[in-house]
Amino acid sequence: MKTGRNDACPCGSGLKYKKCCADKENSGGQQPGSGSPLDALRELLKGENFGSLDEANAFISKQMQQQSQAVIDDFHGLFSEQMHRLLYFQFETPDLVSFPACLDITPEAPILRLLKLLVDGIGDDGLKATATGNLPRNFCREAARAYWGEEEYARRSRHGELRSEDEFAELKVTRIVAGLAGLIRKYKGKFIIGKECRKLLAEQGMAGIYPRLLRAFAQEYNWGYADRWEEIPMVQHSFLFTLHLLNKYGAEWRSNRFYEDNFLQAFPMVLREAPPTPEYYSPEKSLRSCYSWRCLERFAGFMGLVEIERDPADRYSEDFRLIKLPLLDHVVQFHL
């Protein structure tokens, strides 16, 4: 059977065929030390005798199924079919991974601290939106002082007070994600709290709110929004693979480079998606930086799934280390 361009690549990379081996097969090219698909088929059928074409097809199908269910070292305990499901059916594969609708603990995370400030600010009367549809400036300043602390706020605003929501990225992300999750919305020019959000807060607290935020952040929010990197969809599609790595290795402090290395090993073809960069910034470095920023810091760190530490003497370094937090085990369960 011919592999469709949008099907999972038979090589087991987890990518769609059109983004992986299609070009190599169409051009007749092959990687060093590897044969063409036709050579592999000949080797598979070597020494076999079949009484009919149906018998041969059944044999080939069985061998291909076994290969798809073989554990691949670069996938760290996952076989290719499982990886495909983690990439493209994240919330529709309960036999492989499940997400509780309500947590059994009271979660703590940066996004929840900001959501509480936002909910308190909206209150019963609502919070008037600006002409551009953002949160009002005075509220943003108050929230920034509460979130960063007076000392950090003073440092950040030493060249001028915070002027808009756009200058408080964490709050803007929280407001957008909460909207996507159906927790807050605009009504007659004001931000208001949705009825379901009020019900969840009253009955379950943040334990019921958090799963909504997680799903909206992972599945609906565009991770590339307002950052300096180009669109690289696989960074977001692979969030469950990163959580799998954190679940497996995150009990010890590890460098972000460790997770970058494993991301690139699992999805080497993603380098094709890396945009052209200046000479001093190679496509690989660009991809690594994008992955660490979007997946480790802006997702896992902001959602309270990992703790991140940087060298205080070098605040501008892209190197940091991280360790998983207990919340991760309550948020997602892998059934491998």
Q: Could you report the per-residue pLDDT of 101-133, keeping only the tens digit for each? A: 999 999 999 999 999 999 999 999 999 999 999
Question: Which residues, 6+ apart, have CB-to-CB distance to 169 below 8 Å?
Answer: 226
Q: Residue 186's beta-bridge partner residues?
A: 191
Sign of CA dihedral 290, 9, 2, 42: positive
Is 178 found in the same domain as 275?
Answer: no
In a domain, 258, yes or no: yes
Please give the structure tokens belonging to residue 241: 């693979």
Residue predicted with more confidence, 27 or 8: 8
Same domain, 249 and 330: yes
Residue 261 has what pLDDT?
95
**pTM for this entry:** 0.79
Q: Do the domain assignments include residue 97?
A: no
Residue 91 lies in a domain: no
Indicate if 136 and 209 belong to the same structural domain: yes
Handedness of CA 123, 129, 135, 136 (dihedral sign): negative
Per the structure, the complete domain to which residue 200 belongs is given by 110-220
**Number of domains present in the structure of the chain:** 3
314-334 residue pLDDT tens? 877 889 999 999 999 999 999
Is 82 a domain residue?
A: no
Domain end call among 220, 241, 273: 220
Query: What is the rounded CA–CA span in Å between residue 317 and residue 280?
Result: 16
Structure tokens at 227: 């950052």
In the structure, what pLDDT confidence band is assigned to residue 100 with cuts at 50, 70 and 90? Answer: very high
Q: Is residue 228 part of a domain?
A: no
**Do 238 and 323 reside in the same domain of the chain?**
yes
Q: Binning pLDDT at 50, 70 and 90, where does residue 39 land? A: low
CA atoms within 13 Å, Cβ hemisphere of 178: 29
* Domain identity same for 211 and 114: yes
Q: Is residue 85 included in any domain, yes or no? A: no
Q: What is the pLDDT of residue 285?
A: 87
Average of per-residue pLDDT across 198-211: 97
**Residue 205, in any domain of the structure:** yes
Q: pLDDT averaged over the chain?
A: 85
Are both 29 and 125 inside the same structural domain?
no
